Structure 1
């Protein structure tokens, strides 16, 4: 079982529930942070003291207030921590339900578990923590597991993400051709972009470009 855990969460009620769960699992040291910046500082200090944390539990969204911070999201925090402590286990505990964003957490940030906050989520959190103590074991809330099996989501690549992002900004295909060339994104011809746009509309069964952007936003792509 994990011995040293840091929890990044800005809601006291959630923090209390997570803390009780960790105590029930006999975790020896539990630290809390309401800001991503503070969580990163705790991780850095623990590494300097040669007493690293075993596990990070973090939300994805943190409410902005009067304090100026460098990191605003759980993704920013995870990415920063993985650069200095790649082997730390990470559990994301969030209300986020957008399939592409969740898929990205596992594939791009290499998280170990994703818990969707809800009525049964504390029980799932306990199960997840037990599960990921085993080597190469991952966990995702059962009601979310189907999201990672979505074939359409697995067809989307970085080119598609950039294309949809530019469409959401109101960029024309002519302007996109220039932007892609400047960013050295290939293929970058207008015809290639038009062809990929048509492919995306087919994938998502979108009636038009506006409909495609709306669907992409629902999935967390745009």
Structure 2
């Protein structure tokens, strides 16, 4: 079982609820913070002191306030942690269930569990902790997260498709997208290739135009 847990959640009521549940159901030392920047400092300090955290539980969305922060959300924190430590266990605890985020966190950043906030989410969180502590090979996923991850419509999309859809939703032109994909060293980066891929996506989703395509992708939770 885990010895030292860090909870990263900006809402006091949720933060307190998680800490209380951990205190009542585990023997771990439990710490918490409302800022990702502070979480990273705590993680670094704990490692330097020879008493590292072995589990991080983090939300993804954090409301901005008066403080200037370098890390804008849980995904930024998780990427930073993974760049420095591949062994620490990470649980995402969030209402965010869009396909791109779910896929990136599970497949690329190798989070150990993804719990969707809801009525029974604390109970599910505790189940995930037990599962992870017993070295479950596959990530623990809430049912709705698994449904998004296994969405057949989403599975037909390649990484380049997902990036193109996301960049289109952000208002980037095909030329801008080409530059972005070249920076990522992706094969599909020429403007003509991107135009062809967008046409293919429109046909796949029966979209009348690019705006309609983005609308459909958002409705499906792909972006």
TM over 0.5: yes
Structure 2 residue matching 1:192: 3-state secondary structure: helix
> Is contact 2:100–2:162 with CA below 8 Å preserved after alignment?
no
- Quick one: distance in 1 between partners of 2:171 and 2:15? 40
* Structure 1 unmatched ranges of 5 or more: none
Q: 1:15 to 1:188 in 2, by over 3 A?
A: closer
Given the alignment of the two structures, is residue 10 of structure 1 paired with residue 13 of structure 2, yes or no? no
- In structure 1, what is the equivalent of residue 156 of structure 2? 155
Structure 1 residue 59, shift from structure 2 partner: 0.4
> Is contact 2:46–2:52 with CA below 8 Å preserved after alignment?
yes
Structure 1 residue 108, shift from structure 2 partner: 1.5
| Count of matched residue pairs | 221
- Quick one: distance in 2 between partners of 1:161 and 1:110? 19
- In structure 2, what is the equivalent of residue 44 of structure 1? 44
* Structure 2 unmatched ranges of 5 or more: none
> Is contact 1:100–1:219 with CA below 8 Å preserved after alignment?
no
Q: Structure 1 residues 51-60 or 150-159, which shifts more?
A: 150-159
TM-score normalised to the size of structure 1? 0.88
Structure 1 residue 207, shift from structure 2 partner: 2.7
TM-score normalised to the size of structure 2? 0.88
Q: CA RMSD in A?
A: 2.3
Structure 1 residue 199, shift from structure 2 partner: 1.9
Structure 2 residue matching 1:56: 3-state secondary structure: strand
- In structure 1, what is the equivalent of residue 215 of structure 2? 214
Structure 1 residue 115, shift from structure 2 partner: 0.9
Q: Structure 1 residues 183-192 or 204-213, which shifts more?
A: 183-192
Query: How do 1:120-139 and structure 2 match up within 5 A?
Result: 120-135=120-135, 136-139=137-140
Structure 2 residue matching 1:6: 3-state secondary structure: strand
Q: Structure 1 residues 210-219 or 27-36, which shifts more?
A: 210-219
Q: 1:195 to 1:124 in 2, by over 3 A?
A: same
Q: Structure 1 residues 140-149 or 211-220, which shifts more?
A: 211-220
